[in-house]
Amino acid sequence: MPKKAPKISRKAAQSNGYTAEHITVLEGLEPVRKRPGMYIGNTASAGLHHMVWEVVDNAIDEAMGGYAKNIEVRLLPDGMVSVSDDGRGIPVDIHKVTKTSALETVMTKLHAGGKFGEGGYKVSGGLHGVGVSVVNALSSYMRTEVSRDGKLWAQEYKRGKPVAKVKPVGKSSGTGTKQFFKADREIFTELEYDWQTILDHLRQQAYLTKGITIRVYDERDPAKKQDYSFYFEGGIASYVQFLNHNTEAKQEKVFYVDKTADAIQVEIAVQYTVEYREVVYTFANNIHTTEGGMHLVGFKAALTRVLNKYARTNGYLKEKEDNLTSDDVREGLTAIVSVKLKDPQFEGQTKAKLGNAEVRPIVEGIFNDYFQAFLDENPRDAKEILGKCLLAAQARLAARAARDTVLRKGALEGMTLPGKLADCSTRDAEKGELYIVEGDSAGGSAKQGRDREFQAILPLRGKILNVERARLDKMLANNELKSLVIALGTNIGEQFNLEQLRYGKVIIMTDADVDGAHIRTLLLTLFYRYFPDLITTGHIYVAQPPLYRVQFGKEVQYVYTDEDLAKVKKQLGISDQDVQAAVEAHAQSQVEVPAEEEAAEAVTAASKEVKAKTPKLNIQRYKGLGEMNPEQLWETTMNPVNRMMKRVSIIDAAKADETFDILMGSDVVPRKRFIQAHAKTVKNLDI
């Protein structure tokens, strides 16, 4: 008699079939290839360049330790990159744990390197120790050459796995490491390195590690070879001067201090300019801490205290006057705060914020003592700095009054929204969209074409104030900007509150012509200078209206670029002459017929002649949003199913700051140079 099957509990039944066989164990560098985004961010352009940064960081670590003076980076043909330094060279002797060469261990094992134990590196930017092994895992080919002990050692790898053992391949008179790698096309969606991105990053690293020379070569095209060499004896003091090279400085001498206390090196450079904004960049072990941290807190506290003390002592502030605020003393400030320490504690995987509490009092103490001495020894610079701060305090009081006026009229106090705003029905901020449109004509089409449930329309009249050249009090006196601030709901300046944002998407929608581009730039300047958090949190978008409406027979296509128009022409078998004739025919059909009979007949005849040549083709070139009827505007630009939009982001804050200063600042000469340098690359210029 067969035995009865054992009863299986419901809980056991639910787990039935899930056994140890379903648990995958990834060996060696397999986890990196399986989930590359965890290690380098993404597999697009940013991740591709991160590969270079990881290898360069190892060379920089040797330089920060005082072992290397020269670093070379070469972009070679066929996607190959080489990075070399004259440091100590990766050890090649046998590692007692792995029983293989230390070089192979470093190149093929995660969390292996000289950054964890004692005696390897006092200071390192590669905190997690996965850098070069990750690069190896994500490269289709890699080769490491090490010069030490009078020999040249080498090992090759394919997708992270050694091809052969580490072995000597020649003699060497010096020491150092040279890495060759080629990003794997099976991993990366983008394989083209951007020359300017490489230059900007290496220039910054040269500023942060004074006294080293970084040479970079672009040898991808033999006919277009180029190279740069970076060496800055002044370190971050030179960096501040570079950041201010298009701006008038208020102080003649850049303040600079480089001191070490309790094994923490503190390097700070400060210079005030005539601008209204502040530019402060912080670094920990050469890593850009974009969200600041304890070193920034200490710096700000000392800056405010020292300037208030100096102002009181020297009569700049009277007895009954309030102290300068932190905002007052940071207007026009350009500063670099760089610390180097053995065990940095970064908050978050992106290393965006330094969390070491012991860093704050050290930075605060060093900057307090040396900046106080600087002001005492340079009374002329001190007078200029205090004059700038006091003017900022006056403007702050004026701006507060102007801001209070805005609030009294705004929704934050329960009052009505701007009359020109056509608001949406939803009260869910995440779903809401605010379209900022150019002029009443486009505003009318947008209001009729939108989905009233979640899309709000705010038309702006004319070009708004250029806020790059204006303080907050003057800005809030502008009616168009005042309406926009009220509509956003976040407030502005020191009372800005991101949680009060009334719309998840703020979309700039302007005409595809020069005036539209100018208005778009003015709005981007406003958001970059006064609402940067809206950009960094991904709330600002730019709408992409079509340039052409192409009708061929009964088929209608909307074309967004001239490049796409060329593809449509090829697809439909249309010649350039056909396109030109169709555009002219449509333009003539829109012209008002003159009162004179002869002229009217001439226009009609010309139009018929053109249409006869292209009987099936009609092409409309949109100069402005107002030329679209509401249905077309919805279908092409506002319908979430069909529309194309660009999200505004900040990849390089220093570069973005410099560009806004050049294009929108008061100094004409840098802007003229910029236009001359980029004039030939302009597309779709419409004058």
Task: Write out the catalytic residue numbers.
Answer: 438, 511, 513, 515
498 DSSP 8-state letter:
G
Supply 460's token pair.
């702006």
Residue 511: phi, psi to the nearest 5?
-65, 155
Q: Reduced to 3 states, what is the DSSP secondary structure of residue 54?
A: helix
Run of H or E residues at 338: strand 333-340
Torsion angle in degrees (nearest 10) through CA of 596, 598, 602, 608? 90
Cα–Cα dist 628/549, whole Å = 10
Strand partners, 437: 459, 509
CA 664 to chain centre: 19
CA distances (Å), origin 324, targets 90, 166, 307, 435, 460: 52, 63, 8, 39, 36
Strands 279-284 and 287-288: antiparallel
Supply 684's token pair.
């779709």
Cα–Cα dist 454/567, whole Å = 35
Handedness of CA 39, 41, 46, 47 (dihedral sign): positive
- Residues 131/56, Cβ–Cβ less than 8 Å: no
Cα–Cα dist 575/613, whole Å = 12
Q: Reduced to 3 states, what is the DSSP secondary structure of residue 216?
A: strand
- Residues 417/486, Cβ–Cβ less than 8 Å: yes
